[in-house]
Amino acid sequence: MLTRRVVLTGLFAAVLAPQTALARPRKKVFVINPEYQPQYVPFDSSYAPGTVVINPRGRFLYLVEDEFTARRYGVGVGKAGRAFRGSAKIGRKEKWPHWMPTKNMIRRQPEKYARYADGVAGGARNPLGARALYLYRNGRDTYYRIHGTNEPWTIGRAVSNGCIRMINAHVVDLYARVPIGARVVVI
Q: pLDDT at position 164, please?
A: 94
Class of domain 34-186: mainly beta
How much is the pTM? 0.80
Give the chain's residues under pLDDT 50.
1-23
Active-site residue among 61, 105, 163, 182? 163
Q: Where are the domains of the chain?
A: 34-186
Give tens-digit pLDDT for 5-46.
Answer: 434 344 334 333 444 444 455 566 778 899 999 999 999 889
Annotated active-site residue 147? The verdict is yes
Q: pLDDT at position 84, please?
A: 80
* Strands, E assignment, 31-163: 39-42, 52-55, 60-64, 69-74, 76-77, 86-95, 131-137, 140-149
Annotated active-site residue 98? The verdict is no
Helix (H) or strand (E) run with residue 104 in it = helix 103-108
Instruction: From residue 57, give the alpha-carbon distance in Å to each of 152, 161, 163.
Output: 18, 15, 13
Active-site residue among 131, 147, 165, 170? 147
